[in-house]
Structure 1
């Protein structure tokens, strides 16, 4: 069984037909680096992308989980992608499944890829209104490891803009369903490559909503995303103080730094400390 990678705060995706970009993705400092066989690859270049992508996993970096975004498993390209993965000498730890609209989509990929010695971590890319309606079932697929939000396709399908206000309902629904199933939710990339202030604001909003990380398509965005989603030392110290106070009080409601702290806040503090101490995390 493949070791479980932490969901990571920072995800970067690189087109599979642009092999010259692979080293930059590996050394970018992202927690998760994906090679893309789907939207960023022109139709004519997809066969080349499948051949090139195998190199992406041959010499994996030690501090980065590697994955692949395949095409939808209900399409011809998706079937060819799954067949190609079987021939890779080194396998992806994560497989991102796009256009997921039912738990069946995850089951199809698991059935095609799982072997006695290999079972990748399957993430569902949620990017249509129908997927949003089916979230309670999707997040409980047997082999699902997490969900990723796709704003571009969702906005196109819904006929709405890609502004935060237009998509906040979809984001909130995604985070709620993911939290109910106990799996991580990763936010969509921010597509204005030069607007780092806008990226920071959107990342802060996503974190406040409950997302555990954010993806990007350019390395310049990684440091901002990591800074936003990485708990500050003050947050970690506060969490430790809350947990210690709760342990001394035997689970009773306590006062910490002038604030009343009850079981929900203690659980949140414990979760934060557990995430930071998780051995599967790509970065500390």
Structure 2
């Protein structure tokens, strides 16, 4: 996969394309990725205004994070207009979030429309419909796919289920399994309770435990909690280094670490964590 070598970080924040007064706070919130939205947060009569306003989101000489845009779906005229507008932007997004993806062709169309000499944006698929889950292996084979994002609200509306963790556990697990098989990162959906930091932390911890690479949010104050949960602690890194040392000392054979039997799967996971920590340092 072409874009897997440049995986963005753990916290993603999305902000409405019409509210230019919120652009700076989203970009400086401490998230690894800030995405301006011209899809669900913008009413149909305001789409063109949002398209025009959103160009300013990318006009920073030295952006503090990866900057992206969530366009409209490719089965709508607004999505086609988005692609036309993006080709004319003077400052272009690093990353494109494509909603309602149900086939690898969606990713290929965006790449065909936007790729140019010196410009190949990272393209991420928003997975948010039952049909998308039926075609996940095919979507994951798109050569220009950078990663996938779980769209919990649209998925829950489609299947008429709740937004609680138990109701969406299957969908999240299926997405993680397919993404891991294809070696692409997966980002969890935002937590919609804006004023409940405990719920946010609980959801982030569950998402991390399930295997998500990071988590989205819709408010700047959520960013730090997501970073705290997803970034390895000094203790976790120290434990991983001890695991690697034990693996080396045993020649890769099953051994005991802190009273627990450990073997190849644990060693591999520890080496991955140590490698990530070393790259970040």
Superposition TM-score, scaled by structure 1 size: 0.94
The equivalent of 1:195 in structure 2 is: 196
Structure 1 residue aligned with 2:186: 185
Pairing 1:25–2:26 present: yes
SS at match of 1:125: strand
What secondary structure does 1:164 align onto?
coil
| 1:175 matched residue in structure 2 | 176
Per the alignment, residue 240 of structure 1 pairs with 241
The superposition leaves residues 53-108 of structure 1 with CA deviations (integer Å, 9 ceiling, x where unpaired) of 11111115544111111111221111111111111122211111100011111111
Structure with the bigger RCO (C-alpha within 8 Å, sep 6+) is 1
Match of 1:249 in 2: 250
Q: Provide closer, same or farther for how the CA distance between residues 263 and 156 of structure 1 changes in structure 2, counting only shifts above 3 A.
A: same
Q: 1:74 — aligned with what?
A: 75
Rounded to whole Å, the distance in 1 between the matches of 2:41 and 2:63 is 26
Instruction: Give CA deviations for 1:152-192 in whole Å, capped at 9, x if unaligned.
Output: 00000011111111100000000000010111110001111
Shift of 1:5: 4.0
TM-score by length of 2: 0.95
8 A contact 1:11–1:34 mirrored in 2: yes
Deviation, 1:273, is: 2.2
1: CA distance between counterparts of 2:130 and 2:25?
A: 34
Q: Which one is further off, 244-253 or 162-171?
A: 244-253
1:1-150 correspondence to structure 2 within 5 Å: 5-59=6-60, 61-150=62-151
The offset of 1:274, in angstroms, is 2.6
CA distance in 1, matches of 2:251, 2:5: 33
Q: Could you tell me how far apart the structure 2 residues matched to 1:251 and 1:216 are?
A: 40
Matches of 2:3 and 2:191, distance apart in 1: 30
Contact 1:147-1:178 within 8 A present in 2 as well: yes
Structure 1: gaps (5+ residues):
none
CA contact (8 A) 1:60 1:66 kept: no
Distance 1:103 1:20, change over 3 A: same
What SS does the corresponding residue of 1:92 show, helix, strand or coil?
coil
Cα distance between partner residues in 1 of 2:156 and 2:3? 35
Distance 1:6 1:277 in 2: 15
**Aligned partner of residue 250 in structure 1, secondary structure:** coil
Quote the offset at 1:198 in angstroms: 1.0
The Cα offsets for residues 211-233 of structure 1, whole Å up to 9 and x where unpaired, read as 11110011111111111111111
* Higher mean C-alpha deviation, range 87-96 or range 149-158: 87-96
How many residue pairs get matched?
280
SS in 1 for 2:251: coil
Instruction: Work out whether residues 5 and 65 of structure 1, in 8 Å CA contact, stay in contact via their aligned partners in 2.
Output: no
Contact 2:3/2:146 (8 A) holds in 1: no
